[in-house]
A and B are shown apart, each in its own frame.
Chain A
Amino acid sequence: MFEKMRVKTKVIDSGKSGLDTQTLEVNVGPQHPSTHGVFRMTIVLDGEVVKSLRPVMGYLHRNHEQIAENITYSASMPYTDRLDYFNSMSNNQAWAMTVEQLAEVEIPDRAEYIRVIMSELTRLVNHVSVIGFLLNDMGAFFTPTLFAFREREKVLDVFEAVSGSRMMCNYLRFGGVNRDLTDDQLGQIKKIVADFPAFLDEFETLLAQNEIVCMRCQNVGVLPAELAINASITGPMLRASGVNYDIRKVDQYSVYDRFEFKIPLGEKGDVYDRYYVRMLEMRESLKILNQALEQIEPGPFMAPKVPACLKNPRNFKPPVGEAYGRVEAPKGELGFYVVSDGSKEPWRYHVRAPSFINLTVLEAMCIGYKLADAIVILGSIDIVLGEVDR
């Protein structure tokens, strides 16, 4: 299967033709319309074919981990919003889970349900925008992006009503959530979930079967399952390569064991699979949302036995130890590793950022393809520079 593809796009060996040819080195980024931020790729081109590609990161480095080691645990929460600024809710969830694991806090059911609802809504927002951007990178002049943003806006409205901010939610707290969901807001979410399938159908008809999209995406940027596993790729990218690995199923964290949902798997691991697996994942997320909205019951939204961390965030001192909390963020496995020495600030704080790790296979996927493919492959990885550079 892969051999066939390789033949089609073999790098033309310039030495063989006996002509004195020259490779061209171009810097794609850090200021480039489709590197999704200040990411830079140094690409060596032979004609239009990528011969080597070197990702250069760090233009958006903000010292996140060092800052977190110098502020209290709860003050890190708004900083995690800014990692992957498309998915602040799932970032919050991962950080909250890590500290709860460290401090052994039990979370009430309602809070867990709210967290699941929020992170699945986040997944919808992320996947729908990523697909929009991917198609935009392919040259569809903003129509998919704006359709995606039209729906994203509705979800962001809910986030704003619930947490106070559209993107930088800072909504979760250790032991629960900041505020309860009102019935109004639940109704709003129900309406979004009910309307979303119609939008997804439209979105899919718009370009998923489009011949140009198929030509651009199919058999481009193939990531073999073996390489994906070896490079510890996670998230939709891994599943597009046909590996069944979803932390929601593996860890069964939060209340995910109470829902009926499936994991869509890709066939070849090319750009098209990554695109379509995200499409299917959104449909599965909608299933989860429907069940969660049915099952959610009134109750406390904060841990009833309030630990010190909630009463007085400045004086919250978790016991000495270490914890690693992870969630299935829309981009992959988002993990926080934290070591506590019993003081107010974490002694060591590390983020396992899915975008960053998924980006490591970029060169392997791009070599032998055209410059235009490299852009699309980058788009299909789904990176957010806030998370890559931290």
Chain B
Amino acid sequence: MFFGLGILRGMNITLMNFIRSYTRKRGSGEIGALTTVQYPEERLPEKEKFRNFPFLIYDDKPEDLRCVACDICAQDCPPRCIYIVKETDEAGKPMKKPAVFDIDFTVCMNCGICEEVCPFDAIFMDHEFEIADSDRHDKLLYHRDDLLKTNEHFHKIRPNDGREVDTRLAEAKEAKAKKDEARKKAAEAKAAAKAKAEAEKATEAKEDKPPETEKESDPQ
């Protein structure tokens, strides 16, 4: 074979790429077209499932966050980057609310397990990735108030998931209402009937307790 033919063929490829970088449209995906995305001005469309760092969700007021400080995510987090302390009321009794909810973003590895295990749909993975900071210790340790984001934000970044979660929560709410009703009925029945009815009520309540999700129930 003629020595140098392979070199010439290879050089033809690079030359074609050079020419096509001018003739073909940028980002069209054709061979030879430019692939650069001019990042701060242009952005690729966000994928819905894209996950970066977690955030805590609230519905109406920042005080009413969905998180009940059950500590499941903290225990399941592979690098153990979540730290939760329950809030206590005046009497010192723990409330279903986190007083401290810290996530160390320098440790977090964006695996999304906290979102998967949360039974209350309270923690989700955000799309926000521009959180670079020159301070690696304090600025990237996110506290509860830094993590709070609205349900609207969640709907904005993940519309399909938002809808799904909302229906799920609505169903759970309905179930809870039903349960309350049942409880009320049971109470009436209790007033009417004797200890037998009480046992019935207990089983009923237990059945109704978990919300209608594929996720596991509240261990509490």
Chain A positions near chain B (C-beta within 8 angstroms): 71-72, 74-79, 81-82, 143, 150, 153-154, 157, 160-165, 168, 170, 178-179, 195, 198-199, 202, 205-214, 311-314
Contacts and interface: CB of A to CB of B under 8 A. Distances in A.
A227 B125 CA distance: 49
Given A71-B78, A153-B35, A209 B9 contact: yes
Contact of A164 (B9, B50, B77, B78): B50
Given A78-B113, A165-B50, A170-B112, A205 B10 contact: yes
B10 A207 contact: yes
Interface in B92-135: 109-113, 116-117, 125
A179 B6 contact: no
12 contacts: A78-B78, A79-B78, A82-B109, A143-B14, A161-B48, A165-B51, A199-B31, A202-B13, A202-B31, A206-B13, A209-B10, A313-B117
B47 interface: yes
Interface string B30-68: 010001000000000001111100000000000000000
Contacts, number: 89
A214 B4 CA distance: 11
A76 to B, nearest CB: 7
B50 A150 contact: no
In order of increasing CB-CB distance, the 3 nearest A-B pairs are A78-B111, A209-B6, A164-B51
A195 B48 CA distance: 25
B7 interface: yes
Q: Which of A77, A164, A314 has the most chain B CB within a 10 Å cutoff? A: A164
B194 to A, nearest CB: 37
A21 to B, nearest CB: 35
Interface string B1-17: 00111110110111000
A52 to B, nearest CB: 34
Q: How large is the interface on B (under 10, 10 to 19, 20 to 34, 35 or more residues)?
A: 20 to 34
Task: Tell me the interface secondary structure of chain A in the complex.
Answer: helix
B9 A205 contact: yes
Contacts of B76: 72, 74-75, 313-314
A75 B113 contact: yes
Interface of B: 3-7, 9-10, 12-14, 29, 31, 35, 47-51, 72, 75-78, 109-113, 116-117, 125, 216
A168 B110 contact: yes
B11 to A, nearest CB: 9
Contacts of B35: 150, 153
B121 to A, nearest CB: 16
A199 B13 CA distance: 11
Nearest to B33: A150
B72 A211 contact: no
Given A143-B14, A160-B50, A209-B5, A312 B216 contact: yes
Contacts of B31: 198-199, 202
Given A75-B113, A206-B13, A313-B117, A163 B78 contact: no
Contacts of B113: 74-75, 78, 170, 313
Nearest to A209: B6
Contacts of B12: 205
Contacts of A313: 76, 113, 117
A206 B14 contact: yes
B71 to A, nearest CB: 11
Given A78-B109, A79-B78, A153-B35, A314 B72 contact: yes
A193 B131 CA distance: 35
Nearest to A212: B7
